[in-house]
Amino acid sequence: MNIKDLLLGVFVMIVWGLNFSVIKLGVSEIDPLLLTALRFTLAVLPAVFFVKRPQVQWRYLVAYGLTFSIGVWGMGSWSMQAGLSAGMASVLMQMNVVISLLVGYFLLKESISSMKVIGSVIAILGLALSVSVTDGSVTKLGMLLILLASLSWSITSIIVKKAGTKQVFAFSIWGMLFAPLPLFALAYLQSDHEQLLTLDLLMNRSVLFSVFFQAYPVTLFGYWVWNRLLVKYPLSTVAPLSLLVPIFGLLGSAVFYQEQIGPMKAVACLLIIVGLTVGLVKLAPLKAYFLQFKLAIKLN
């Protein structure tokens, strides 16, 4: 990866990591589902009029839009209103990698390498340890909601795979077209329609910043860059960049919300990140390096 693309990729990871703190800012003011509805409304309009619809069946677009908006970011935003810190949300959201492996193995009958199994076990140990964090940054409801968000993220990957599209950016834009109305409806039911009726009074600077940041730098710009890198480089080259998201998520929460990272939390987060890293390692190259190392010793 050339230096320009690498820096662009790292910048997007910073934006995605800080996004959790920005969401926390928004949900402290308005209903999380309403915040998410506003985000996807701005992200899809007017962009959908300038992006050609991908040649896939409508059911895939609808399924993706609902799962990605309500499942991933609706539940993810709600988890932070339910007491989960922005830093822990950014780390626990990455459990979607492990969940995807389990879903792929049990439902899609996909094979799993030994390194992915080892990495998954390490990450699950980190998840289990994070439950014991007692500094107020982890709540039972928040944990449940963020794991639902992680599961939904795994489901969106399956939907994209089943759709068979190579126009991932266009697919995401047209899928998000089906996000706002269901989110507004759920927000109406959850908040007893009071916030919808007084939305103009709730749109203060914090809410506006949160909505615009999520809609444009995070969603449109971020996914455009990410998909561009995926097309240009192998997945094994691009995927490790995503490990920076929880790191910047934790840093952002520590800076903006003074989140304390004690020993227990640090170990839990480290186990999850290390587990995800191990899962990205390919065993075959390691064997080749080991054989080369043994050969070099014999020659010497």
Question: In the structure, what pLDDT confidence band is assigned to residue 294 with cuts at 50, 70 and 90?
Answer: very low
DSSP secondary-structure letter at 234? Answer: -
User: What would the pLDDT profile of 224-257 be if each residue is shown by its tens digit?
Assistant: 998 888 878 876 678 788 889 999 999 999 999 9
In this predicted structure, the answer to whether residue 284 has a pLDDT above a threshold of 70 is no
CA distances from 221 to 8, 54, 236, 272 (A): 11, 19, 22, 27
User: What would the pLDDT profile of 131-186 be if each residue is shown by its tens digit?
Assistant: 888 788 899 999 999 999 999 998 998 898 889 888 889 999 999 999 999 999 99
* pLDDT at residue number 192: 61
Q: Which amino acid is at 135?
A: D
* pLDDT at residue number 241: 87
Within its chain, how far is the Cα of 10 from the centroid? 15
Number of domains, the chain: 1
Give the mean pLDDT of 69-75. 96
**Which of helix, strand or coil describes residue 59?**
helix
Cα separation, 209 vs 16, in Å, equals: 15
The dihedral through the CA atoms of 58, 63, 64, 66 has a sign that is positive
Range of the domain at 106: 3-299
